[in-house]
């Protein structure tokens, strides 16, 4: 699976949008971009995923550049409960033997301030 | 039911003890996983089960022994552990590629293991 690069930490004011970048310049055509987050002492939580189109769900939006070499996770109105480590992961969804290997990088520690 | 349940939540064991961690899901997922997470580090994959068969072992020491008795249950048997094995052990499940109902993994809250 392709490697990702994320900033180690970011701050955001409560109520503002949090934009978390991820670089995945070696991504392959059959690899999806996934975002998970982990709140302290809990298991990772799935947020969103996408292949090449922008995606939105009730938690967040995912913007993938046209060349697919980078993406941005957007939390539109951050709250204190969004303080967590955010992981950007790229992986093949189906086929071969790699579908089971969800490999976490170091992630971004997002701190939302009052 | 959209959860992965792990028991116990906390476990303290001696280096000569034998203990087991349990993981259960009722989402019909046919792939299940064990991850290990040390403090301030990302989760690391240990084992992958697909349709109740071990498909990936990430060179985990034999003192960790996984078992998948049925499609809903995943165990991790522990024996002769070392203090450096103290960590948060996470279980996860996902649909297999053949199921394709969703692409997200669902994680449990983990078992915090301390080896003394």
Q: How far is A39 from chain B (nearest CA, A)?
A: 10
Q: How far apart are CA B42 and CA A18, in angstroms?
A: 21
As a whole number, mean pLDDT of residues A3-10 equals 95
The Cα A66–Cα A85 span in angstroms is 26
With 0-12 / 13-18 / 19 or more C-beta atoms within 10 angstroms meaning exposed / middle / buried, residue A42 is middle
> What pLDDT shows up at residue B99?
64
A-B contacts at Cβ under 8 angstroms: 60
- Chain A's closest residue to B38, CA to CA, is A41
Does the beta carbon of B32 lie under 8 angstroms from any beta carbon of chain A? no
Cα B72 to Cα A85, B22, B69, B112, distances in angstroms: 29, 11, 8, 22
Query: Between B50, B88, B105, which is nearest A46 by CB?
Result: B105
SS3 A86: strand
pLDDT category, B101, cuts 50, 70, 90? very low
Residues from chain A contacting residue B88 (CB–CB below 8 Å): 41
The CA distances from residue B23 to B6, B89, B104, in Å, are 5, 10, 18
Question: B32 CA to chain A: closest CA distance, Å?
Answer: 9
More confident residue, B8 or B55: B8
- CA–CA dist A85, A58 (Å, integer): 19
Q: What is the pLDDT of residues A72-102, one digit of tens each?
A: 999 999 999 999 999 999 887 655 555 567 8
DSSP secondary structure, A28-57, as one string: -TTEEEEEEEE-TTS--EEEEEESSS-EE-
State yes or no: pLDDT of B93 exceeds 50: yes
Task: Give pLDDT tens digits for A24-77.
Answer: 999 988 888 999 999 988 999 999 999 898 999 999 999 999 999 999 999 999
For A42, name the nearest residue in chain B, comparing CA atoms only.
Answer: B109
Strand partners, A110: A10, A84
């Amino acid at each position: 699976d392709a490697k990702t690069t994320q900033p180690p930490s970011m701050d955001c004011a409560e109520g503002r949008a949090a934009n978390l970048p991820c670089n995945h310049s070696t991504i392959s055509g059959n690899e999806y971009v996934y975002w998970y987050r982990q709140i302290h002492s809990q298991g990772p939580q799935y947020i969103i995923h996408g292949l090449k189109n922008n995606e939105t769900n009730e938690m967040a939006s995912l913007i993938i550049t046209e060349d697919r070499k980078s993406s941005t996770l957007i939390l539109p109105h951050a709250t204190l409960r969004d303080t967590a480590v955010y992981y950007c992961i790229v992986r093949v969804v189906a086929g071969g033997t790699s579908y089971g290997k969800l490999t976490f990088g170091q992630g971004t520690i997002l701190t939302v301030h009052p | 039911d959209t959860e992965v349940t792990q028991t116990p939540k906390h476990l303290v064991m001696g280096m000569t003890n034998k203990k087991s961690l349990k993981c259960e899901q009722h989402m019909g997922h046919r792939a299940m996983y064990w991850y290990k997470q040390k403090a301030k580090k990302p989760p690391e994959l240990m084992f992958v089960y697909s349709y109740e068969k071990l498909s990936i072992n990430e060179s985990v020491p034999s003192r960790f022994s996984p078992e998948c008795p049925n499609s809903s249950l995943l165990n991790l048997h522990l024996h002769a552990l070392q203090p450096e094995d103290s960590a948060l052990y996470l279980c996860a499940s996902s649909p297999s590629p053949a199921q394709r109902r969703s692409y997200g993994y669902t994680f449990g809250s983990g078992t915090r293991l301390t080896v003394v």
